């Protein structure tokens, strides 16, 4: 009996060496062959009535010394670092995701023609891919199904969706506020530019009136310290003041500031220049 077991172990050892040589370079080759080797020895030894302790001694003789276990993948290392609750949660999420995908796939699949309910709908006048209602203005597709995993009550939105909705509302308010500020800034700049143009035209008209009336034009001395006072004076000049000087030039001297010339008579002035606005010239 002992000789037969020894012969069997020698044969299995040769088979094991051949398998290891073929699987060299594979990560899982050594362990799978070793497990197969151990199982085969255990079955053979048990069939011949060899005790378990004796089987362990004989099997240890044919172990390949220096054989390292294959490296464990990063995913397995990561799973080992997680707690039992975390691993259970990951497994539950994975199963839920698979169930959701299967459910959506079944929902999106068209109803087969052999379905009894579908046949009843066709007998009632339903046409596939057609809108509901007599006039065909109803829904063309069934109401979509939204799978919710949150624990909120019926009628309440998902907290994540609610958060994103509030963020969109805040962003829209901010955008509108910026647009209003830009529009207000543009209006203020335009008003400021028009005020400066009115002041400049007023001074031109005043100089032209003084020249036509043979007055001595005295330019005021400019001082850098009086810059703020000049700005205040410019703000006091309005559109009415400018129109008053322009009308005086037209009525008394037949002169148009924007045409830049003096006409021979009022008829020539009214014929060639009918407007007193600068934009109309």
| Residue 242 maps to a domain | yes
Summarised one tens digit per residue, pLDDT across range 99-138 is: 888 888 888 888 888 889 888 888 887 777 777 777 777 7
Q: What is the pLDDT of residue 55?
A: 42
Contact 82, 72 (CB under 8 A): no
The answer to pTM > 0.85 is: no
Summarised one tens digit per residue, pLDDT across range 223-250 is: 555 555 555 554 578 888 888 888 888 8
Domain boundary among 61, 79, 104: 61
Burial (CB < 10 A; 0-12, 13-18, 19+), residue 187, is exposed
User: In total, how many domains does the chain have?
Assistant: 2
| Residue 209 maps to a domain | yes
| Residue 110 maps to a domain | no
Quick one: pLDDT band at residue 267, thresholds 50, 70, 90?
A: confident
| Residue 11 maps to a domain | yes
| Residue 7 maps to a domain | yes
Domain boundary among 26, 44, 61: 61
User: 191 is in which domain, residue-wise?
Assistant: 180-216+231-280
| Residue 17 maps to a domain | yes
| Residue 54 maps to a domain | yes
| Residue 131 maps to a domain | no
Mean pLDDT for the stretch of residues 184-209: 88
**Is the per-residue pLDDT at 2 higher than 70?**
no
Summarised one tens digit per residue, pLDDT across range 21-48 is: 665 555 444 444 445 445 544 444 444 4
> Quick one: tokens of 6?
């020894």
Domain boundary among 15, 41, 61: 61
């Amino acid at each position: 009996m002992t000789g037969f077991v020894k012969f069997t172990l020698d044969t299995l050892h040769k088979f094991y060496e051949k398998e290891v040589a073929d699987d060299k370079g594979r990560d899982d080759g050594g362990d799978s062959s070793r497990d197969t080797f151990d199982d085969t020895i255990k079955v053979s030894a048990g069939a011949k009535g060899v005790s378990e302790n004796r089987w362990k001694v004989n099997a240890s003789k044919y172990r390949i010394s220096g054989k390292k276990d294959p490296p464990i993948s990063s995913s397995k290392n990561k799973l080992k670092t997680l707690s039992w609750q975390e691993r259970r949660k990951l497994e539950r999420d994975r199963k839920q995701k698979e169930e959701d995908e299967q459910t959506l796939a079944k929902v999106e699949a068209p109803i087969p023609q052999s379905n009894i309910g579908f046949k009843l709908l066709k007998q009632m006048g339903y046409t596939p891919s057609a809108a509901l209602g007599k006039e065909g203005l109803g829904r063309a597709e069934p109401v979509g199904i939204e799978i919710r995993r949150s624990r909120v009550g019926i009628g309440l939105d998902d907290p994540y969706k609610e958060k994103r909705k509030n963020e969109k509302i805040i962003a829209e308010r901010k955008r509108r506020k910026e647009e209003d500020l830009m529009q207000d800034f543009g209006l203020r700049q335009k008003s400021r530019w028009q005020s400066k143009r009115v002041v400049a035209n007023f001074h031109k008209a005043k100089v032209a009136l003084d020249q036509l009336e043979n007055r001595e034009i005295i330019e005021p001395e400019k001082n850098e310290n009086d810059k703020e006072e000049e700005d205040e004076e410019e703000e006091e000049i309005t559109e009415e003041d400018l129109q008053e000087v322009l009308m005086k030039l037209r009525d008394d001297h037949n002169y148009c500031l924007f045409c830049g010339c003096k006409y021979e008579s009022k008829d020539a002035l009214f014929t060639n220049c009918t407007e007193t606005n600068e934009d109309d010239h």
